[in-house]
Amino acid sequence: MGAERFTSAESARAYAGSVFRGRLGEPVDTCVIPNSRNYLFRMEAGDGHEYVVKVYASTSELIGACEAVAYERLKGNSFIRKCFGIDRGNAGAPAWAIFEYVRGETLLDSIDRLQADPQAQRHVMHEIARFVRDCTAIGVQGYGDIDAQFRGARPSWPDFIEHYLDHLGRSVCNVQDVAAREQMERGMRCLQRFVVHVSDFLRTRPSTFAPVDLNMANFLIGRDGRLVALDLENFLAADPLLALGEWAGHTFGTSRYDVFMAEWGDLADLERASVRFYALLCNMDVLMYIVNNGIATAGEAHPWGNPNRFVDLVGGHIAWLNANA
Strand partners, 4: 58
Is there a single domain that holds both residue 9 and residue 124?
no
- Strands, E assignment, 185-322: 208-211, 219-222, 227-229, 235-238
pLDDT band at 7 (very low <50, low <70, confident <90, very high): confident
Is there a single domain that holds both residue 127 and residue 89?
no
pLDDT band at 54 (very low <50, low <70, confident <90, very high): very high
- Structure pTM? 0.93
Is there a single domain that holds both residue 96 and residue 117?
no
Neighbours of 178 (CB within 10 A): 8
Query: Rounded to whole angstroms, how far apart are CA atoms 322 and 171?
Result: 23
The pLDDT of 27-56, averaged and rounded, is: 93
Q: Which domain holds residue 132?
A: 105-324
Is there a single domain that holds both residue 152 and residue 35?
no
CATH code of the domain covering residue 8: 3.30.200.20
pLDDT at residue 68 is higher than 90: no
The residue type of 162 is E
How far the first Cα of the chain sits from its last, in Å, is 37
Sign of the dihedral through C-alpha 105, 284, 143, 86: positive
The pLDDT of 207-233, averaged and rounded, is: 95
Q: Which among 101, 136, 162 is the end of a domain?
A: 101
Share of the chain above pLDDT 70, in %: 96
Is there a single domain that holds both residue 271 and residue 304?
yes
Residues 85-140: tens digit of each pLDDT = 988 777 667 889 999 999 999 999 999 999 999 999 999 999 999 999 999 999 99
Overall number of domains in the chain: 2
pLDDT band at 157 (very low <50, low <70, confident <90, very high): very high
Q: Which among 75, 101, 127 is the end of a domain?
A: 101
Determine the pLDDT at residue 89: 74
pLDDT at residue 219 is higher than 90: yes
pLDDT band at 60 (very low <50, low <70, confident <90, very high): low
pLDDT at residue 244 is higher than 60: yes
Is there a single domain that holds both residue 213 and residue 225?
yes
By DSSP bridging, strand 227-229 and strand 219-222 are: antiparallel
CATH code of the domain covering residue 123: 3.90.1200.10
